[in-house]
A and B are shown apart, each in its own frame.
Chain A
């Protein structure tokens, strides 16, 4: 079965621009979570979507938003990019919720803001 895919894999943007990242979960998985990974802050939870509804949100400014489509694919958007938004953005999908359900991570999208 195909794993979680993220597009694009690499992205370079200029400060002030906006960016949209895409995540395709494993087939049948309805939960998609997003994380930001930076050398300074490590891995931080952004938000989770389940069946097109945002179920939880991390402590990030409103410039970070997301959505999920009926086929469970998810996008996250960052508006008015700042240099500090440079990071690896990971998404993870799961078929359920709870300790018995594994979260499968994608390879990430590396965003560089100049």
Chain B
């Protein structure tokens, strides 16, 4: 069964500091991982997916199959990055679009 662990419930950093939100997963088969973000009073929305290998809003995430991790990183945090972040895996393949959410990490970027 898919399982994801986000060890930090709250991560507080100062503006301009690097930030890393940790995500560890257990997965059967080929993992499909995402980062979703929920800003205050907004809907949950996709930030990036593991196959993208692109930077979205300055965030990147690398899938490390050896360590079974998919940490989200940004070199210089901005106040507008303050939000709730989730890294749910999708699947398994016969489970349609089911996402398995962990507890999430609340990122607070202080001025």
Contacts and interface: CB of A to CB of B under 8 A. Distances in A.
A66 interface: no
A62 interface: no
Contacts of A107: 43
Nearest to A50: B96
A97 B32 contact: no
A106 B43 CA distance: 6
B98 A99 contact: no
Interface residues of B, number: 22
Contacts, number: 61
Contacts of A108: 43
B97 interface: yes
B97 A33 contact: yes
B99 interface: yes
Interface residues of A, number: 29
Contacts of B11: none
Given A42-B104, A99-B51, A48 B96 contact: yes
Interface of A: 3-4, 31, 33, 35, 42-45, 48, 50, 55-56, 58, 90, 92, 94, 97-108
Interface of B: 32, 34, 43-46, 49-51, 86, 88, 90, 95-104
